[in-house]
Amino acid sequence: MALRFGLLFAMRNPEPWRKPWTQVYAEMLEQVQAAEEFGFDSVWLSEHHGVEDGYCPSTLVAAAAVATKTSRITIGTRLLLLPMHHPVRVAEDAAVVDVLSNGRFVLGMAVGYRPQEYPLFGVERRFRPSLMDEGIEIIKRAWTEDRFDFAGKRHRLEGISVRPKPVQRPHPPIWLGGSRGGAIERIARFADGFHYVGGAAIYDAYAQAMLRAGRDPRSIPVYDSRDFWVAEDGEQAWEQSREHIFYSYRRYAEWGAEAAAADGAQLERRFAPAATPEQMRAQADLSGPFVGDPEQAVDFFRRRQAEVPIDGTIMRMPPGIDHRLALRYMELMARSVLPRFRE
């Protein structure tokens, strides 16, 4: 079964491997150019705010830079946190990225979850669902209508007229992320693609929501994502990446626990942190981090597709990993893994 491969960049700069910020972003741009040359299908930019390691706070600016350095590869956000942005500003900036890339842009969005981020923008976290729903409608209309007014619970806007319009018609694809409840229902109503994290039960919930909305679950692309690393030898891969991937895994687990506490919800299994890299490795499942050699990676993705019918996978670049190792890793993936999933 065919599978598309993307790389995820968050431009994190953790203290143990701290570099000048100009170097972090220059290396990212070199890596996305290499990804295009090696035949990866897509590159994605990820967003968070107020993070000590500088997790990219401005995905659309970064996407514009990527657009000017590439010519074929798909460029997307995974994920822009829409409730923290004004939707007209998002529509304008994303349209410019689509123009710069000549129609290669995918706008991926989600409501976000970290409690600490919303006060930075004066946003009430409890208003996330309505901000998301209204924002999606405003963005789509801004891309497709000449001029309009909007009156909702969160936004009252007059004379919206976005220029330039995107290259893609009717508009760039809007992919949405989510893993439960209202977020899954929103995906079924609005999404052109599903940014998916988790096990088979979450995919089943998505499929059922799509059917309720009168849509075929296979009618839109479904991509999953994870921390990921390969080397010629599995143990070599582990030694190269263990601290970097554990750093990433640990931070996401902490953030997930904080969000669960803020929501008064039960902690999801994927957010239950291991205490050591070795425990993380032992607990990893098909929705968690992967470290291994190319044959193990091929087997992993085949088992993942047997569990859920994903169309693509997005591999997160380990924070702070050496630039030369990153280029070697992409070349190895392009030579030994990607061809095994081409039809």
> What's the pLDDT at 271?
56
Q: The domain 4-237+289-341: what is its CATH number? A: 3.20.20.30
Predicted pLDDT at 270: 56
Spatial contact of 102 and 68, defined as CB atoms under 8 Å apart: no
Residue 48 contacts residue 340 (beta carbons within 8 Å): no
Question: Is the bond leading into 170 cis (omega within 30 degrees of zero)?
Answer: yes
The 8 Å CB, 24+ separation contacts for 88-94 are: 88/138, 88/142, 88/157, 88/160, 88/162, 90/60, 90/135, 90/139, 91/138, 91/139, 91/142, 91/143, 91/162, 92/142, 92/162, 93/60, 93/61, 93/64, 94/60, 94/139, 94/166, 94/172
Residue pLDDT tens, the chain, 343 long: 899 999 999 999 999 999 999 999 999 999 999 999 999 999 999 999 999 999 999 999 999 999 999 999 999 999 999 999 999 999 999 999 999 999 999 999 999 999 999 999 999 999 999 999 999 999 999 999 999 999 999 999 999 999 999 999 999 999 999 988 899 999 999 999 999 999 999 999 999 999 999 999 999 999 999 999 999 999 999 999 999 999 999 999 999 999 989 988 776 665 567 889 999 999 889 999 999 999 999 999 999 999 999 999 999 999 999 999 999 999 999 999 999 999 6
18 sits in the region (left: phi over 0; alpha: psi -120 to 50; else beta) called: beta
**pLDDT of 181:** 87
Going along 84-221, which residue ranges are E strands? Answer: 105-110, 148-151, 156-160, 174-177, 193-196
Find, among 52, 11, 55, 53, the residue nearest to 29 by Cα. 11
pLDDT of residue 192: 98
Beta strands in 17-70 (DSSP E): 42-45
CA nearest to 228, candidates 332, 108, 72, 309: 332
Joined together, the tokens standing for residue 65 give 């830079």
Q: Give the pLDDT score at 273.
A: 77
